[in-house]
């Protein structure tokens, strides 16, 4: 059972729920920075890790099923029905079937995980997720010998997802992990943020979070999980394999063909914050580098 990984960020790094509401008001004022610093609420540049505010996390999203602009998901995702929610589990598992979400995760431990989140577009946040280790869910359904990968699929509801009208990607959105990546204790299925139910625009009611990979690997609103022998379809990888590898581990040394991945813009830093260096495996090298031992990370990007 859970507790296999311990936060390197503590609750002390998270701005308290009430304070960040206040902070946003302070920041909006003319005395913004001075006032916030005096109250100990300021956010310095660089690598000081303070979780992003609820507003930041829920207003700046990539969820193309609801539109390609960053503010589209918050505007449009309200239509998504998340109760009831079922997840189809199939492929190389002992107990395949269509599970009610509550039934699938009943009794599994929900932990707080404060993770860095790095988008392939070179912006980043720190997000206090609440979630269950994916390994716990996979163990519950029973992974069979011969399964090497886990494939995920986002729900596809044209009536509730206006972005599906446009062929931005080959819908439904699909992603996949190698089984050892999926079983890694850092890999969680998030159901909450800041102790509240995860908002629709962030992938309600349940989404994957793989903190050492670019954000698009962390597929949202999952309706199907399939254990497979072969590497599964992954939407961005299929759309442009030169730009988006199947692994897509955060790596400052391997650039996206169109932009550098060496640095990132920390969301919430404001207009004058500049960029900060991107960390290998998004700062989780100690935990996950061994998964890729002997692999050429420039070839398997």
Q: How far apart are CA 138 and CA 27, in angstroms?
A: 44
Residue whose entry in the numeric block shows the structure tokens 């998270």: 14
Q: How far apart are CA 287 and CA 289, in angstroms?
A: 6
**Judged by CB under 8 A, which of 11, 16, 71, 197 binds other proteins?**
71
Q: Which two tokens stand for residue 39?
A: 């109250």
**Judged by CB under 8 A, which of 7, 22, 59, 148 binds other proteins?**
59
**Which contacts of 21-25 are long-range, i.e. CB under 8 A and separated by 24 or more positions?**
21/53, 23/53, 24/53, 24/55
Site for other proteins in 116-135 (CB under 8 A): 121, 123
Among the residue ranges 6-14, 90-98, 148-156, 162-170, the one whose residues contact other proteins (CB under 8 A): 162-170
Q: How far apart are CA 200 and CA 58, in angstroms?
A: 9
Residue pair 276/264 in contact (Cβ under 8 Å)? The answer is yes
- Based on CB atoms, which residue is closest to other proteins, 3 or 165? 165
Nearest to 228 by CA among 295, 149, 168: 149
Residue pair 48/126 in contact (Cβ under 8 Å)? The answer is no
**Judged by CB under 8 A, which of 81, 139, 260, 290 binds other proteins?**
260
Site for other proteins in 170-229 (CB under 8 A): none
Is residue 73 involved in binding other proteins (CB under 8 A)?
no
**Judged by CB under 8 A, which of 1, 34, 38, 239 binds other proteins?**
239
Among the residue ranges 35-43, 78-86, 194-202, 272-280, the one whose residues contact other proteins (CB under 8 A): 272-280
What does the radius of gyration of the chain's CA atoms come to, in whole angstroms? 19
Q: Is 89 helix (H, G, I), strand (E, B) or coil?
A: strand
Minimum separation from the CB atom of position 192 to other proteins (A) = 20
CA distances from 242 to 14, 39, 101, 265, 298 (A): 37, 47, 35, 23, 12
Q: How far apart are CA 128 and CA 10, in angstroms?
A: 10
Is residue 41 involved in binding other proteins (CB under 8 A)?
no
**Judged by CB under 8 A, which of 68, 144, 241, 290 binds other proteins?**
68
Is residue 268 involved in binding other proteins (CB under 8 A)?
yes
Its sign, for the CA torsion 237, 65, 193, 265, is positive
Q: Which two tokens stand for residue 10?
A: 């503590």
Among the residue ranges 13-21, 57-65, 154-162, 285-293, the one whose residues contact other proteins (CB under 8 A): 57-65
Among the residue ranges 15-23, 36-44, 143-151, 266-274, the one whose residues contact other proteins (CB under 8 A): 266-274
**Judged by CB under 8 A, which of 265, 280, 285, 289 binds other proteins?**
265
Residues forming the site for other proteins (CB under 8 A): 24, 27-28, 52, 55-56, 59-60, 64, 68, 70-71, 121, 123, 166-169, 236, 239, 255, 258-260, 262-263, 265, 267-268, 270-275
């Amino acid at each position: 059972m859970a507790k296999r990984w311990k936060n390197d960020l503590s609750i002390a790094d998270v701005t308290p729920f009430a304070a960040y509401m206040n902070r946003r008001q302070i920041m909006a004022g003319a005395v913004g920075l001075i006032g916030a610093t005096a109250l100990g609420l300021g956010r310095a540049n660089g690598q000081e890790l303070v979780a992003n505010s609820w507003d930041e996390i829920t207003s700046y999203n990539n969820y193309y099923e609801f539109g390609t602009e960053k503010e589209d998901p918050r505007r449009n995702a309200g239509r998504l029905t998340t109760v009831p929610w079922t997840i189809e589990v199939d492929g190389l598992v002992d107990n395949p079937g269509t599970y009610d979400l509550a039934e699938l995760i009943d009794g599994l431990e929900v932990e707080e995980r404060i993770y860095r989140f790095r988008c392939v577009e070179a912006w980043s946040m720190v997000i206090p997720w609440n979630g269950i280790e994916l390994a716990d869910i996979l163990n519950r359904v029973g992974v069979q010998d011969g399964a090497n990968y886990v494939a995920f699929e986002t729900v596809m509801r044209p009536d509730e997802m206006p972005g599906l009208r446009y062929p931005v990607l080959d819908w439904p959105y699909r992603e996949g992990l190698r089984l050892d990546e999926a079983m890694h204790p850092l890999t969680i299925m998030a159901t909450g943020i800041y102790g509240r139910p995860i908002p629709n625009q962030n992938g309600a009611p349940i989404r994957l979070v793989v903190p050492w990979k670019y954000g698009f690997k962390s597929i949202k609103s999952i309706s199907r999980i399939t254990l497979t022998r072969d590497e599964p379809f992954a939407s961005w990888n299929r759309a442009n394999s030169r730009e988006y590898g199947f692994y897509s581990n955060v790596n400052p040394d391997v650039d996206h063909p169109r932009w550098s991945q060496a640095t990132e813009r920390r969301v919430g830093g404001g207009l004058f914050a500049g960029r900060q260096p991107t960390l290998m495996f998004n700062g989780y090298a100690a935990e996950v580098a061994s998964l890729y031992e002997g692999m050429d990370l420039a070839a398997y990007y």
